Amino acid sequence: MNDDTPNPAAPPTAWPWPPILLAALVAAAVGLGIVAPLAWPGEDDTMAHVAGLGLGLAGLALFAWAAWTLRRHNTTILPDKAADVLVTDGPFRFRRNPIYVAHVLILLGIAEVTHNIWFAVAAVAYVPLVSWLAVLPEERHLEARFGDAYRAYKARTRRWI
């Protein structure tokens, strides 16, 4: 192993960035909604509320399904811990990062239900931030840990959408 090769036993990052980012962005959206509210560009009707609830509930369901799948495989859900197993079934069959997709859906659902545009802005900001701080290190970790099996999974399964 040279200096550029990650240690397969090492965790992807030292910090659990996704929950930290999510909490910080939720706090920022709430705060900005109070001190710098912006007009909601959407409709204020029953169908819009149903759509918002649908997005949020879909995000919660996707998160629960992904967490249950990881638990069933006896591997960690914690983004700052080393993976024990390469999970490629459940929601991981369709996307490599279903938990992060779930976070975005939840933020968008909250935006519609609360009519706080800052939650939509937070969802947009979350994608590049979590990609840089968590997804890329996780991908390096999984490739170092699982080699060709991860590369094959990565080739057939999209990251986000």
Number of domains into which the chain is organized: 1
| Residue 95: φ, ψ to 5° | -145, 145
For residue 4, what pLDDT is reported? 62
Q: Are 96 and 153 in contact (CB under 8 A)?
A: yes
User: Does some domain include residue 10?
Assistant: no
Each residue's pLDDT, cut to its tens digit, for the chain (161 residues) gives 455 666 777 888 888 899 999 999 999 999 999 999 999 988 888 899 899 999 999 999 999 999 999 999 999 999 999 999 999 999 999 999 999 999 999 999 999 999 999 999 999 999 999 999 999 999 999 999 999 999 999 999 999 88
The 3-class secondary structure across 29-57, one letter per residue, is HHHHHHHCCCCCCCCCCHHHHHHHHHHHH
CA atoms within 13 A on the CB side of 153: 20
The count of other CB atoms within 10 Å of the CB of residue 97 is 23
CA–CA separation, 148 vs 86, rounded Å?
11
For residue 43, what pLDDT is reported? 80
- Tell me if the pTM is above 0.85: yes
User: Does some domain include residue 5?
Assistant: no
User: Does some domain include residue 68?
Assistant: yes
User: Does some domain include residue 81?
Assistant: yes
Which residue type is seen at 50? V
User: Does some domain include residue 82?
Assistant: yes
User: Does some domain include residue 161?
Assistant: no
For residue 10, what pLDDT is reported? 81
- Which domain, by its residues, includes 152? 53-156
The count of other CB atoms within 10 Å of the CB of residue 115 is 18
**Residue 157 CB partners (closer than 8 Å, separation 6+):** 88, 92, 93, 94, 95, 96
**Residue 19 CB partners (closer than 8 Å, separation 6+):** 79
